[in-house]
Every structure is written in C-alpha cells, then in structure tokens.
Amino acid sequence: MTKREQLHVVKPSTSVDEALERLVEHRITGFPVTDDHWNLVGVVSDYDLLALDSISGNGQTEADIFPEVDSTWKTFHHIQKLLSKTNGKVVSDVMTSAPLVVRETTNLEDAARLLLVSKYRRLPVVDSSGKLVGIITRGNVVRAALEFKKNVEGSL
C-alpha cells in the first residue's frame, strides 16, 4: 500500500485542468478525492477527466471520440477540442462518488482479488471512519508477490 503521506490527492474543487496537469507531472493515472479532513469523497482517473467529451452532450458516439490512428493532425485537433471542454469544470463534476474501497484491515489476498474482479487500477484504503489512509494498486500487489516469492525461495 502507498501511505497517505506519499499520495497525490485532489479536492472536489480542484479544476479539471489542474488535475490533468498533475497527472502528467506525477506520471500517474488517477487521484483519490478528499475533503480538508482526509475524508474520501471520490476518485478521479485519467479516463474520467478525458471523458468530458461524452458528458458534455455533444452527441458523438464512442467510435467518434477516438480519431483515426493514421491522422496525426486530426488526433491533435481532437485532443485540443477535448481540452477546450475542461473550462470551468472541477473534479467534483467528473469524479466517481462513493468509490469501491478496502479497509486498512483488509488482507492483501482479498484486496488483490478485488482489484482483479473489478478491473480497477487502484483502490483507496480507508479507516473505520472513512478517512483515507492510503491506496493499493496493482503495482503494489505485484511487488508484494515478488517479495514473497524471493523470501520463500531464499528460505529453501
């Protein structure tokens, strides 16, 4: 688990533009969304932030959202259009409220199973009062499995 002190989080009032900039800056794909007291109020991912095109009511189909691969100019133009829709939007407009979470008492095997079944990349870890204490990612699970394997092989 990545502990709270090491996490990048956003507030519901954070602008979508700022959230996108922070995703790129920190090379991550999503954030827990917390209030001023570390209560988890949602999660927001790169997908949520870029899905503004579909929630803006412009009537495009999913196939239209992704331009042809061989058209670099068309792709650039489309991304510019997507980013123009972020004006005035804040994280609370696009976040997932009441996300799937695990408790800090959840064992690693159960958390890994939940990540696999849900197909999420990350799950917030909360205490009994709903305060964010960390996040568990697929990468955390893989690292723990490799460490366990090394320890088992080293003891043989």
pLDDT in the model for residue 156: 72
pLDDT in tens, 74-99: 556 656 666 666 667 899 999 999 89
Cβ-based burial of 10 (10 A; exposed 0-12, middle 13-18, buried ≥19): buried
pLDDT in tens, 11-68: 999 998 899 889 889 999 899 999 999 999 999 998 887 776 544 444 444 444 454 5
Of 90, 121, 95, the closest CA to residue 40 belongs to 95
Q: CB–CB of 100/114 below 8 Å?
A: yes
Tokens of 90: 């804040």
pLDDT in the model for residue 118: 92
Domains of the chain: 2-154 (3.10.580.10)
Side-chain-facing half-sphere of 63: CA atoms under 13 Å: 0
Q: Considering only residues 89 and 70, tell me which one the structure prediction assigns the higher pLDDT.
A: 89
pLDDT in the model for residue 60: 46
Averaged pLDDT for residues 97-119:
93
